[in-house]
Structure 1
Amino acid sequence: MTTFVELSTKAKMPILGLGTWQSPIGKVRDAMKFAIDIGYRHFDCAYVYQNENEIGNAMEEKIEEGVVTREDLFVVSKLWCTFHEKSLVKEACQNTLAALKLAYLDLYLMHWPMGFKAGEELFPADENGMIIPSDTDFLDTWEAMEELVDAGLVKSIGLSNFSCEQIERLLKKPDLKYKPVNNQIESHPYLPQEELVNYCQSQEISVTAYCPLGAPNWPRGEDFCLLDDPKIKEIADKHSKTSAQVIETFVCVLSPFKVFDFELTKEEMETILSFKRRYRICSLSM
């Protein structure tokens, strides 16, 4: 059973990680401590989640208790869109490190390929409710992220929510110093993104799936609950597993890794891939 993926930098990233999106202040600290106690070592954070201070407190406590060392943990965070200007990238990373109480990040991702107007607002909008963009090209932002590696603030850098075309544009950058090691994307049975996953693998870029269970608590405008999908429940019953285990196995097979003590048959994979709903949870409709 595989427990980690080896990045192109030879770093080992645990396959299963705890996402901290929607983890509220007042609860995320205890959730983090419990996760560390039961064996989680990969933690996915982001400035925009606005909870990195509590996450940092939890990790600090567990390190001081001797439950884990810093080296045991694989901590990921993300550069938010309002910090895409080259002059803002280093300070943004340092602020995240201060909140998380860490000297370095194992992986730092560009959260989205597009930048927003710099300032205090996370989602700066005009009078029509549309996001005000930044003039900074993500290729310039990447140069500033490369400097973070040289400064020892991050071990590796990567992407999030990047398409094949955007990744290709970055890889063709003439003076590219560090290739992205990871692309974190929304991926689940209603949005498997096989083409993007295959492209990343062809470029030695690992893929991390977010919302693999479909973000059950996230409000949506239509009936959408992967865990209650009758075809998934039928497969789960056949294997005497939960719907969540079936979905996680499906997402890991796309990657491709095995993390549980059962496998989906070719026919079961084809059944799940045939859903064709292509429902996107994180669409940034603004």
Structure 2
Amino acid sequence: MPLSTTIRLQPSGAEMPQVGFGTWKHNGQKASDAVYTGLKHGYRLLDCATDYGNEKECGIGLRRAIDEGVVRREDVWVVSKLWNTFHRREHVKLAIRKSLADWGVDYFDIYYMHFPISLAFVPIETRYPPGWYFDGKSEVRHDPVPLQETWRALEELVDEGLVRHLGVSNMNSGLLTDLLSYARIKPSVIQIEIHPYNAQVRAAEFARSQGLAVTAYSSFGPQGFRELNTPKSLRTPPLFTHPTITAIAAAHRCTPAQVILRWATQRGLAIIPKSDTVAQMEENMRSLEIVLTAEEMEAISGLDQGLRFNDPADDFEGCHIFT
């Protein structure tokens, strides 16, 4: 059984798995099989979102694992995210009930605000998931909904037992400070893009100083975005072949992926890498067994360029909000 560690969330004291299972870009039967196989190999946190368009398929994989006695529902952290088109108070519950139904569960262990960006509502019957474009093609239509309105609605989900912990994603420290000033139920986790090209040291330190755990996504930097042919990722050297990373991997007789993941977890961050094969699932989990030296940690952090690959303003013309 691979090594497993947890991160204690405030204020509940619940122990969140430090290594979760990412589901972004897992589609159809592949998503169902990946979730089922991940659970069989020890993963106990499934990170998903409305925008991924695969919640129903992921739920099928979870149900299969439960039915076969691989896990119990209470053993698994099921995670989803509120999409930008559902920020108005009357739409928040509509969104979570759809996600819960697709997953086939009664509650989410963590429910994130996916972006601090409010877009015009698109009815579920019109298009689901709605995506970034109001017309489904090219128009990004903003809707001036205060974050406080959305957060109040999210707090009601906790009151009703539909959510155990609230989280925020893609939120900078200024917006987080504002949210904490009025939040009755404070977020327990923040999920942000962190990898050696975007170390986010100050953001992570600030969040933890405010009692939030930090989950890093896109741990491999440009790798996941190369599949989408985004210009920034295609012109950025892959981390897997960076001399600093490969030299450290050789010294530890492990893979570059394991070095990158351990750099994050050794900083006390949670991670949610996507795995396509059993070998990758085991490799990612076993990264916890590596111990990097202080010099190696510093060398990896030295690759930081403040380079983000998940920036809506880069990829969606008309989205003028930088997070």
TM-score over 0.5 (shorter chain): yes
One-letter identity of the residue aligned with 2:62: M
* Alpha-carbon distance between aligned partners in 2 of 1:220 and 1:238, rounded to the nearest angstrom: 32
Per the alignment, in what secondary structure is the counterpart of residue 81 of structure 2? strand
Give the 5 Å matches for 1:39-78: 39-78=42-81
> Does 1:276 find its partner at 2:304?
yes
**Correspondence for 1:97 among 90, 95, 100:** 100
Match of 2:14 in 1: 11
Aligned equivalent of 1:196: 203
Question: 1:120-159 counterparts in 2 under 5 A?
Answer: 120=127, 121-125=130-134, 129=138, 131-159=140-168
CA distance in 2, matches of 1:223, 1:151: 45
Q: Is 1:180 equivalent to 2:182 in the alignment?
A: no
Distance 2:287 2:161 in 1: 32
Maintained 8 Å contact 1:81/1:111:
yes
Task: Deviation per CA, 1:107-141: give whole Å up to 9, x if none.
Answer: 10000011111114321358x94621111111110
Query: How far is 1:252 from its partner?
Result: 1.2
TM-score normalised by the chain length of structure 1: 0.94
Which consecutive segments of 4 or more residues in structure 1 shift more than 4 A? Answer: 256-259
CA distance in 2, matches of 1:215, 1:32: 24
* Matched residue, 2:293: 265
Identify the residue that residue 265 of structure 2 maps to in structure 1: 252
Structure 1 contact 117–124 (Cα < 8 Å) conserved = no
Amino acid at match of 1:163: N
* Aligned mates of 1:5, 1:137 — CA distance in 2: 31
Q: Distance in 2 between matches of 1:154 and 1:209?
A: 21
The total of aligned residue pairs comes to 284
User: Partner amino acid for 1:200?
Assistant: A
Over the residues paired in the alignment, what is the CA RMSD in angstroms? 1.9
Contact 1:197 1:255 in 2 (8 A): no
Partner SS, residue 27 of structure 1: helix
* Consecutive unaligned residues in structure 2, runs of 5 or more: 271-285, 317-323
Contact 1:236–1:243 under 8 Å retained in 2? yes
Classify 1:167/1:217 alpha carbon distance in 2 versus 1 (closer, same or farther; 3 Å).
closer
Distance 1:220 1:89 in 2: 31
**Unaligned stretches of 5+ residues in structure 1:** none
- Provide the rounded CA distance (Å) in 1 between the counterparts of 2:209 and 2:302: 24
Q: Could you tell me whether the CA contact under 8 Å between 2:40 and 2:70 is conserved in 1?
A: yes
Q: CA deviation at 1:217?
A: 4.0
Identical positions, percent: 36
Write the distance in 1 (CA, Å) between the matches of 2:224 and 2:90: 37
